[in-house]
Amino acid sequence: MVHHSLTPRQYLILGLVAVSAPLGDSCLSRGMASMPPITLEHPGTLIAAVFTPWIALGIALLIGFFASYLTALSWADLTFVLPATAFGYVIIALLARFWLHEAISPERWAGIVLVTLGVGFVAQGPSLTQHPAPEPEESADHELVEPKVETR
């Protein structure tokens, strides 16, 4: 199967990768900021923190992030997926601007433009490197890197 272009479903997964990581981080940050300071003398409070709503939501989002990230890596190159993940920063900055009405400094606007340009560049190219297979019949699976270690 040749993956030069992505299916709508695969775009959806890349979108989940981009959105869930920064949203999850924000939930963790919000949850931890509202907790009283945690000291090493009372590590139990850290366990209790896991069950507060914001932190639980953050953890759920980060689990969703990891699952969709792994799925994306199973059909696209690392150098394709990573810039897509960075697009999440742009989404968060724009959400902060238009939803929370936070001010965005000129530097951050410049950052938004650069990340968007970069993501636009990779998105135009192929998502997966095709490796010439030694046997033409086996070109379907994209065997990479791992040289098979044969124990004799």
The least CB distance from residue 142 to other proteins, in Å, is 6
Evaluate whether 28 touches 56 at the Cβ level (below 8 Å): no
Task: Considering the complex, state which of residue 39 and residue 124 has its C-beta at the smaller distance from other proteins.
Answer: 124
- In this structure, what token pair is assigned to residue 25? 């981080």
Q: How far is the CB of 114 from other proteins (least distance, A)?
A: 3
Report the residue count for the chain: 152
Nearer to other proteins, 47 or 82 (CB): 82
For 52, the token pair is: 């507060």
Q: Nearest 5°: phi and psi at 89?
A: -60, -40
Burial 99-132 (b: 16+ CB within 10 A, else e): eeeeeeeeebeebbeebeeebeebeeeebeeeee
CB nearer to other proteins: pick between 48 and 94: 94
Least spacing, CB of residue 72 vs other proteins, in Å? 8
Site for other proteins, rule CB under 8 A: 1, 9-10, 21-22, 25-26, 28-29, 32-33, 65, 70-71, 73-75, 77-83, 85-86, 89-90, 93, 107-108, 110-119, 121-122, 124-126, 129, 131, 141-146
By beta-carbon proximity to other proteins, the closer residue of 15 and 111 is: 111
Give backbone dihedrals phi and psi of 95, rounded to 5 degrees, phi first: -60, -45
Shortest approach of other proteins to residue 25 CB, angstroms? 6
